[in-house]
Amino acid sequence: MLFLMFIAGLDLDQQQFRRTRHKSLLFGFLTYTIPFATGLPVCYYILDYNLITSLMVSNMFATHTMVSYPVVSRLGLTRNEAVAVATGGTIITDTLVLFVLAVITGTVTDGSGPGLYLMLVLSFIVFLLFMAYVIMPVSRWAFRRLEDDNYSQFVYAAFVVFICAILAMAAGLEPIIGAFAAGFMLNRLIPSDSILRNRIDFTGNALFIPFFLVSVGMIVDLRVILSGPTAIIVAVVLTAVALAGKFLASEIASRFIGFTRDQRRLLFGLTSSHAAAILAVIMVGFRIGIVDETIINGTVFLILITCLVSSVVTESAGRKIALA
């Protein structure tokens, strides 16, 4: 799970975010708040979850993973403004999701109160400052010294991931926040076309991510699905709310920005899929006892459907934009 979030941080395009930062900030805010605000009453009143579980699942709705990004890359649309806004929005959304996750887990494990929230905010700020003014300069120096030694660079990158995860735990945050921050900080030091990045992707895709998915699959209980209609209803509701929230966010943001109809569809297609981030968030909730097997099963169904919808919509909208 740590390596998965590290790769998610590496995948974010910071240059695109800087070019469209104002539009990305607007979309990132909307694509977090609308799914969260849509999911909270559904979970609390319709699915009858308690408040903490409702907050965790609603936070899960706000995540997205740009699974269909290779489609726009293949079509030569990576410089399209809608793609840049989707990429920048992902940075904002993932940051908000992980911060809210830290607040929820802190409330469950340490209790609630103004002192707790103040400590979480302060520890989060200290953690970010340490990453920016200690980890980043040291990493820049290390990569210069190890420029001709790709094996040592890989070992150092893995070392940074686990050190940041430990520092996040020491700050009262979840380890996946540290791993994501490590990927975000090393993003500019590890080019996407470098040998080191190729080795990181290979190691993650061939080793760590499959083992993580196996661990998720072992938690899925088919008896829960076969025991009655409840699990199926939960899965359908979760999927419908996740897609509706992302659709509304894309439509509202696109109209403010002035996107065309195909760009609106492209924005929705890129940000409607849930995969890596949602698995990481839901596994944290399962580990601390906030969510149960029914939600885990529903999340797996949600991932399957949203990735399918994302691919189809992105391919359709992308082809029309490319032809135009």
pLDDT exceeds 90 at position 175: no
The pLDDT value given to residue 294: 82
Band (78; pLDDT cuts 50, 70, 90): confident
**In this predicted model, what pLDDT tens digit does every residue of 3-34 receive, in sequence order?**
766 776 777 666 766 777 788 889 999 999 99
The pLDDT value given to residue 115: 67
- Cβ-in-10-Å burial (0-12, 13-18, 19+) of 167 comes to buried
Average pLDDT of span 162-177: 80
Between these two residues, 124 and 129, which has the higher pLDDT value? 129
The segment with the largest mean pLDDT, out of 23-32, 226-235, 298-307, is 23-32
Between these two residues, 73 and 259, which has the higher pLDDT value? 259
Q: Which long-range contacts (CB under 8 A, 24 or more apart) does 296-300 make?
A: 296/216, 296/219, 296/220, 296/221, 297/220, 297/221, 297/224, 297/225, 297/231, 297/234, 297/235, 298/231, 298/234, 298/235, 298/237, 298/238, 298/239, 299/60, 299/238, 299/274, 300/216, 300/220
Average pLDDT, the chain: 83
The pLDDT value given to residue 22: 86
Average pLDDT of span 219-230: 67
pLDDT exceeds 70 at position 301: yes
The pLDDT value given to residue 33: 94
Tokens, residue 70: 């290779």
Band (241; pLDDT cuts 50, 70, 90): very high
pLDDT exceeds 70 at position 253: yes
pLDDT exceeds 90 at position 103: no
**In this predicted model, what pLDDT tens digit does every residue of 134-147 receive, in sequence order?**
889 999 999 888 88
The pLDDT value given to residue 8: 67
